[in-house]
Every structure is written in structure tokens, then in C-alpha cells.
Chain A
């Protein structure tokens, strides 16, 4: 434990995060503007769909979704979805770039544990995403005020989900380094995973036979916890169980990702640079 949190280690992690941030903010206007558009891209699309649904069918509700709460709910969906998408492709994009910049060798030869790189990058991602997240959570709070505790729970689940997703992203990083030919697999996984995370709709929209895929999906649980702050459709116990599952995801997947990464890169080496 002492080693785990030693000052030296924290300095390394911060140096790694700082490096990522410096690269991200090399062209700051572009970076900030492109992060700000992400959460509202699909929010607008789904907003139109829900708006016409409620006005054309004269129904007041759709599960827990109603005329009154669909906008803040979609906004939460936008925040979670864009963060998930960013974290999911994070290591693929960064390792591919580093490969072509010919800087991946620094990462591969430095006497630093791969877990520290993961934590450093996660810190950078958290800081990068804090700009759009705080903007849109402020907007959310403005149109649908919730208690500070609820807001804290939303943020916590968001960041736990990010950590787990980043761990998974490290597996893609391994493929980006060692075998780019099979990177496409992760595009297919992404399509399924985001579909069954129900960012913009309820799990009722998923065919019954496939609904178990949402139940086993930790990102879906994270999304549900956040939505429960608006809908109040989950009991405290349900929230706790979901939270435990998300926590498990955030703790275990990064280790699996790091182990997988180490194994693949040691076995196959670097290809294509």
C-alpha cells in the first residue's frame, strides 16, 4: 500500500497525465470545441424523436420517460455516451498516434509499470472530459435541479465507468501496437456494447430475448444509477447493487486490460513502425 501511493509514483503518474494534456491542448480551441459538441450530437437527434413521439401520439409517458423529464435524461445520456465513446477508443487512438510519431518506444522502454501509464492516462482523460462534463452537468442542474448528493453520485458513477472502459481500451491498445489487422473486432464490440448500454432509451426497447445483455453490462448499470436520480425508479438497495457492480468493473477490468496488454506486447512485439 505504501508503495502503491508513494510520492514518487504519484509524480510519475502526474507526469504521464501532464504529457497527455499537453498533447491534447497543443491546439486548444480545436480540442475544447470538439469535446463540447460530442455530448449534444445524438442528444439533438434523440431529442427530436422523443419530442415528436410525445406530441404525435399524445402519450404522456414512455416507461419512466415523460414529457417533463426526457430532456434532462437525454442530456445525462449524452454526457455518459460521449465519455464512454472517448474512453473506449482512447488507447487505440493514442497508441496508433504514438506508433506513427515513433514515440511508442519511450513507453515501451521506460522502467515504469504499465498500470501507472493507465492511471496517468485515466487522470488526463478525467481532466479532459471535465470541461464538457461540467458544462453539461451545469446545464442539467439548471433545467432539472437535483440534490448535491445526487449530483455527486452521477459524477462518481461516470468516473468509475470511465476507469473500467479505459481498462478495456488498453486491450485495444495492445492490438493497435501488435496486430492492427484485427482492430476491427473492437468496432464490432463497440457497436454492440453501446447498443446494450441504453444511453438514450430504456432497456424495454431491446428485444426481450437479448435484454440479459443489458443486465450484465456494467455501463448500463452506471447509466441506470444516473437516471435514477431523475426518475427515482430504483430503490436504494438496487442502486447499491448496481453501484457495487460498476465498482467491480472499474477495479477489475483495468487489471485485466493491463495483463492482457503486457502479454500481447511481450509475445508479439510491435508491428508496423
Chain B
């Protein structure tokens, strides 16, 4: 369903150094965010991306949805180039992509129209039931708490009922009860999902396969069981142990 082949992303950006010389001759910094990453995600699979801060998870998600152009390599979604597959993708990028100056309902309604839905209000009713967000949907988003924003972001991603979900830290800042609830809901969806998270239990509970990124490279991939088996030194290691063992060092 999603295939990523030999993906490399290098950011060239002007460094923060300020001097008379850099004003006229700005120095570009080269940051390698992803290096030769290849992976395949099957239809209906939930695939978790783990990795330390700055490992390149968000960069990967942004390339998958067409927000960033890869420096080299290729991404195919159901055989299509990303720009031809945008309608198939639901996207959560942390708590961004909602208008503070509009109400939650208006945000969802706007998105529904962009994706050419005929009955947006019906879909909003379905989602409010599904995600239990009806109570404050008609308030301005600027008045939401972080968790409320995230719920709205999830509803936003589900609005046009896409077969593929790209979720960048979808449960960051949710209370444990609601996080559990959301995980159940995500599992229920039966969609092809790539999600990034810093919660090991979430990756373990949700996903069939887990990949660990470290400094832009894919250092391990497999089921939680397979990853744990790689750590032979310890008896009954947890995923956290595996994560730490694989992501220390350069």
C-alpha cells in the first residue's frame, strides 16, 4: 500500500550565524534528516515509527503526504505518486492544521468541502459520536485545551474517510483514559496507518510492525517480539530497553 524506496532527505538551510559576511554571503547548513530509508506498509496494517527526538520521523511523514520533496528516493501510495494520492491520505501533524479563529465545526466543515464531500454535517455528526467531541465543537479552537485540539485534529484527519492515515504523535498530551480510548478507536478503523509516537506501550498495543529510526537511518524493523529478540543480553527486555540499546551511539 505504501512503499518507500531509498528515501533520503537533506535540508539546506541558512544557519543562525549572523555577521556582515553572512549577510552578503549566507552560509547554507546541510542537515541530513533521512538517509536511505526503505520500507513497505501493507494494506490494513498499522505501522509504528519510533525514534529519538530529531530522528526524522516528522520529516518522513511530511514527505509521505507531499509537504516536503525528498532529496532522492521514491514514495508510492497504492502505486501512485504522492500528489496523485492526496485524497487517500488523512493527516495528523501534532496539533497543527486547525484554525484557531474558527470553531471546531467550521474547521471540519471546511475540510470536508475541500475533499468534495457532499454531506459534511452528517459526517461531522458521525465523528462527534465516534470521538466524543460534540460538547465543545461549536467553541472557538483558540479556547480548546491541548487534548481537545488533538481530538479535533484526529477528527480532521478522519473527515473524508481516507484509506491511509499518517499520524504524527496523535496521542501526545492526551490523558491515559482517553489515550487508551483513542488507541482502541484507531485499531477499530481498519485503515492503513503509519504513526509516530514516543509511547512504547502505544506502539506495542497498536501496531503489527515497528520501525526504529535513529539519526535518519532505519536501525531496526519488525514485530515487537522480533525487536525484543534482538536484545539477547537481557532476559525479557521491554521495548524501552530495545529502543535505548538501538539508539545510543552515533
Q: What residues of chain A have their CB less than 8 Å away from a CB belonging to chain B?
A: 8, 11-12, 14-16, 18-19, 22-23, 26, 101-103, 105-106, 108-112, 181, 266, 269-271
Contact = CB atoms under 8 A, between A and B. Distances in A.
Given A12-B113, A15-B114, A18-B110, A23 B99 contact: yes
B99 A101 contact: yes
A30 B35 CA distance: 50
Contacts of B93: 102, 105
Contacts of A8: 116
B68 A269 contact: yes
Contacts of A270: 67-68
Given A12-B113, A15-B110, A18-B110, 13 more contacts: A11-B116, A12-B114, A15-B114, A19-B102, A22-B106, A23-B99, A101-B99, A101-B100, A108-B67, A109-B89, A110-B86, A110-B114, A111-B115
15 contacts: A12-B114, A15-B110, A19-B99, A19-B102, A26-B140, A101-B100, A103-B96, A105-B93, A108-B67, A109-B67, A109-B86, A110-B86, A181-B14, A266-B69, A271-B13
A105 B68 contact: no
Chain B interface bracket (under 10, 10 to 19, 20 to 34, 35 or more): 20 to 34
Contact of A23 (B13, B67, B69, B102): B102
B111 A106 contact: yes
Interface in B67-120: 67-69, 86-87, 89, 91, 93, 96-102, 106, 109-111, 113-116
B87 A111 contact: yes
A113 to B, nearest CB: 11
A108 to B, nearest CB: 6
Nearest to B100: A101
Nearest to A18: B110
A44 B98 CA distance: 41
Contacts of A101: 99-100
Contact of A103 (B87, B98, B140): B98
Nearest to B88: A111
Contacts of B67: 105, 108-109, 269-270
A266 B116 CA distance: 24
A124 to B, nearest CB: 13
Given A108-B67, A271-B13, A103 B114 contact: no
B210 interface: no
Interface string B125-148: 000000000000000100000000
Interface of B: 13-14, 65-69, 86-87, 89, 91, 93, 96-102, 106, 109-111, 113-116, 140
A100 to B, nearest CB: 11
A110 B110 CA distance: 11
A27 to B, nearest CB: 9
Q: Which 7 A-B pairs have the closest CB atoms?
A: A15-B113, A102-B96, A110-B114, A26-B101, A111-B86, A111-B87, A23-B101
Contact of A106 (B87, B114, B116, B140): B114
A181 B24 CA distance: 12
Contacts of B111: 106, 110
Contacts of B110: 15, 18-19
Contacts of B87: 111
A108 B63 CA distance: 12
Given A105-B93, A109-B65, A12 B116 contact: yes
B175 to A, nearest CB: 23
Nearest to B69: A269
Nearest to B140: A26
Residue of B69, B101, B102, B106 with highest tally of chain A CB at under 10 A: B101
Contact of A105 (B97, B109, B114, B140): B97
A141 B86 CA distance: 50
A271 B93 CA distance: 17
Contacts of B116: 8, 11-12
B101 A22 contact: yes
Contacts of B106: 19, 22
A230 to B, nearest CB: 40
Contacts of A109: 65-67, 86, 89, 91
Contacts of B65: 109
B13 A108 contact: no
A18 B68 CA distance: 28
Contacts of A108: 66-67
A102 B91 CA distance: 13
Nearest to A265: B69
A272 B72 CA distance: 22
A25 to B, nearest CB: 9
Most A Cβ at <10 Å: residue of B93, B110, B114: B114
